[in-house]
Amino acid sequence: MDISSVCHRWRAIALDIPDLWATISIKLPTAPPPRTAAFEAALHLYLERSRFAPLSIHLCSSADPLHRIDMSYKNRFILPLCRESHRWRHLHVSFMCKRFFELFLQTVNRTCSDLRQLNALTITDTSGDPSSYSPEGFTSLCGVTKLELRGNIIHIEGSPFAKTRSLSVQATGSRPNAQILASTITSAARLKCLTIFSNIHNIYAGNIPAVTSQLTTLTLHLSHADYTSFGILLAPLILPSLSKLTLIHAGRHSASAIPLLFTYLTAFCSKHRITDLTLLQVPILAPDLVLLFEEMTIPLTALYIHESPAVRTITPVLLRGIMDTLPVLTRLGLIWSENSEIDESAVMGLIEMRTWAAGGLKSATVGRGEAHHNLGRRTRERLSLLHEEGLKVYERVLD
């Protein structure tokens, strides 16, 4: 909209690019705003100018749970969008009142005739109360391949998301329940990738096993207060196909809690056949990490470590441990912190030996602070020679 207001030429360009009009964000207050008609006209303008482009829609209802939900004016915005449901690609619904979401689902189920192209659904529940929904409410939305849940961990009964392959859960509720989380995860019976933002400090434990048989990739975002939650969160889950684990640590760390993280991590890895491990700024000591390698049920084939600035992980102890305990490693990434005194020659010695060995490394990523950054001249020369011999260098391990 702003681009089309600059000048006649820019307006012509904007009108000729439907994708510029294909992202629609609508905030729905409790009562109709004074300029409802103007906002309604703007919506129709966006729908018209986006033509046949796929739509990304964000509906935000600020209705207070204590007030009556007025859907009459809200449907003036929702129904025109539903008539374009065949163009929906990403739908994000955020709400403070569970009743609004229930009414929205009813409207979608009643009026959206074609949602086969919708592949991503984001639900942000900030009501502050645990919410439970029957699978019938998601009849029209069950075909999404990517599902993201934010705010409260909503409980979805049954298995309505049969086609969902990727699930992201960002729980911010004050007293979430691990069993509800496990149940929601298993509502996507064919789930492949799971991401959990575990900013949870007072989680209720769950004790009923929840099997997610096709899950292969698990990503956990942790902070220093979540180490206990890490164990409680994962306790109910049975993940027989899990092969890739990524831990991402955010914010400061607690030195006294590091052994607790190591204990939970070791217990988890010893129960699963993990072959691909990524640690991004996770405060874990090198000797502990070597012990973790030894406890794994099968040797790693891929390892990526981005060292935490506060804890020295990439040390000679770790390099020796990689050499001794990971004989089938084919992908290796080592990013040490800016203030690290690591011997780059020792790192390169490890990479060269593992590359030249039978069935050795196929790709390597190294750097200071970030991949291929602040490396010495001799290190770059040795990497270039390995690259000429077939080693994939500087490959980004994370997708």
pLDDT digits (tens, 9 = 90+) for 28-39: 877 777 777 888
pLDDT digits (tens, 9 = 90+) for 336-357: 988 888 899 999 999 999 998 8
Is the model's pLDDT at 395 over the cut of 60?
A: no
d(CA 281, CA 304): 11
For residue 121, the one-letter residue type is L
**What per-residue confidence (pLDDT) applies to 232?**
73
Query: Beta 244-249 vs 193-197: how paired, if at all?
Result: unpaired
pLDDT digits (tens, 9 = 90+) for 67-97: 666 777 778 889 999 999 999 999 999 988 8
- For residue 352 the two structure tokens come to 């060269």
Is the model's pLDDT at 290 over the cut of 90?
A: yes
State the pTM of this model: 0.86
Which contacts qualify for 109-115: CB closer than 8 Å, 24 or more apart? Answer: 109/137, 109/139, 109/140, 111/79, 111/82, 111/83, 111/85, 112/82, 112/85, 112/140, 113/85, 113/86, 114/85, 114/86, 115/85, 115/86, 115/88, 115/140, 115/141, 115/143
8 Å CB contact between 308 and 337: yes
Mean pLDDT, residues 143-154 taken together: 85
d(CA 388, CA 392): 9
d(CA 9, CA 1): 14
d(CA 9, CA 7): 6
Tell me how far CA of residue 36 lies from CA of 40, 107, 374, in angstroms. Answer: 6, 20, 55
Residue 378 backbone phi and psi in degrees, to 5: -65, -35
**What per-residue confidence (pLDDT) applies to 335?**
94
**What per-residue confidence (pLDDT) applies to 2?**
46
Least confidently predicted of 58-67, 282-291, 353-362: 58-67
Residue carrying structure tokens 């470590």: 305
For residue 273, the one-letter residue type is R
**What per-residue confidence (pLDDT) applies to 362?**
93
